[in-house]
Each structure stands twice: as structure tokens, then as C-alpha cells.
Copies of this chain bind each other. A is one copy, B any other.
């Protein structure tokens, strides 16, 4: 990137971070919109394909980390930012990231997280990803209204139409209102997008990671809300993820062959 593009990019990041402040009535100034468009349309240098693939190959489920090596604040901020910028269904961002750096808290998690016995004591950063539950993710919840009004900055009329579409999606298209669990699992799916983006961003930065599903769901659900101080009607634990630096050589990667998992229409 040249220097001017980089300056624009910094503005852009801070705008994304702060949220565009609308000038009035939920509308953006045309200058702001033009400025976004200019940045979105500018030619950018793409990242070398081999470097991307190397990062994907570098990533493996790192089961123990070098407890002496800490991720820099700048790199970890980028990992969180990759999670924050992730796409989600209807743009409702049904996630929260708990960064557990308190070693006593990690100790309390240990008996319930069999998949992280060597990870919890050694990871540079350990994140519990919460997903929103029915109380805050139903189409008629306060949270959804807040997202449409305050984050998406929709007008009252647009918000009303959007909510109707979202109700139909939840009720009919995906039958998410059939059970509490169906709605929660759908929230979790969105969280797995953020999970993946955080892990791949880490691997591009040369940082190792491990997604952790190895925990006893019921026990975590009965302990985590009090430990972390969140409302169990609003959130549940979706998945966990650790970041740090490898200390052991990984096992050879195993995958199904491309032709076993991809079908082309028409056939090639």
C-alpha cells in the first residue's frame, strides 16, 4: 500500500471501530458515504496466493503452547478485530468474546474442559465465545431492535420491514422458533464464522490456535454465567479457542481428497 492509501485505510479502520456517526435521523452524510465508497473501490494489492495457502497449512489444532511466548497486543487486537468484522446472518453479530487471562479462572475451567488440559495452562490468550440465546435473538427481542436502530441505523420503517422478514426467516424458513436449542445452535453457527476468521487471521500472523469443543455442555452452562458474570438467559457458551505459539511439532495433516468432497455441476 502506498502512504496515501494507508492513511485512508487508517481513517477507515477508525470509522469502522467507532461506528459512523450519522448526521441526523439515522442518515449518513453523503460525504461519509462517498468516502467509504472511494475506499471500497480503490484498487488494493491482493495477498499472494501461496502465502495464504501456507497460512492455512500452518494452522493445526495446537494442543500445547509455549507458555513463555505471549502474543503482542497489536496482533491480538487484529485477531479480535477479525472476529468483530465477521459476517453474520442479517448482520446481528450474535457473539461475545471473553478473553480469559486470569489464571485462577482458567484453573476453575480446567476440570470441565477435557479438550484443553494442556492448553488452558499454556495458551497466551484463551477466549470463550458466547452465542446469544432466544431471549436476545428472537425477532422481537430488545437486542434485535437495538441492532437495527443503533448499529444498522435503519429508519423506523425499514426496521419494521426488516423485522418482518427476520420473523418469517426464524419462524418458517429455518424453523428456528421450534425450540430454544434450534435458535441457540443457529446463533452458534454464526459464532463459528468469527471463530474461523480469528484462527485464520492468527495463522497468517504466524500464531497458533486451537478450537475447543471438548467440554461438558451442561456443567459449563451451570458454572460459566456466574464465573464470568453474564446473563444465562441471554448467552450460552458456543465454543472456546486458544491462541499462542507451538512448542511441539504437529502431526502430519490429514484430509479427504479434493475429489471426495467437491462436486461440480456440470461435471468436469
A interface residues, Cβ below 8 angstroms from B:
1, 6, 9, 12-13, 15-20, 28, 32-33, 36-37, 40-41, 44-47, 49-61, 74-75, 78, 80-82, 84-87, 89, 91, 93, 95-102, 105, 147, 151-153, 169, 172-175, 181-182, 185-186, 188-190, 192-197, 199-201, 204-206, 211, 213-218, 228, 230, 239, 249-250, 252-258, 261-266
Contact = CB atoms under 8 A, between A and B. Distances in A.
Contact of A195 (B78, B193, B257): B193
Given A1-B50, A84-B258, A99 B182 contact: no
- Identical chains bound together, number: 2
Which of A13, A97, A189 has the most chain B CB within a 10 Å cutoff? A189
A57 B261 contact: no
Given A99-B263, A174-B217, A262-B96, A19 B192 contact: no
A173 B49 contact: no
Contacts of A215: 173
* Residues of A contacting B: mostly: helix
Given A214-B173, A249-B37, A262-B97, A196 B192 contact: yes
A171 to B, nearest CB: 11
A190 B13 CA distance: 30
B13 A53 contact: yes
Given A87-B199, A204-B46, A204-B52, A256 B9 contact: no
Which of A53, A89, A96 has the most chain B CB within a 10 Å cutoff? A53
Contacts of A189: 185, 188-189, 192, 239
B61 A87 contact: yes
10 contacts: A1-B50, A13-B57, A36-B253, A52-B78, A87-B199, A98-B262, A173-B217, A195-B196, A228-B265, A230-B263
A215 B172 CA distance: 10
B255 A93 contact: yes
A9 B54 contact: yes
A12 B57 contact: yes
Contacts of A256: 19, 84, 93, 147, 151
A71 B19 CA distance: 32
Contact of A205 (B32, B49, B60, B96): B49
Contacts of A91: 61, 254
Nearest to A55: B47
Contacts of A193: 192-193, 195-196, 211
B261 A93 contact: yes
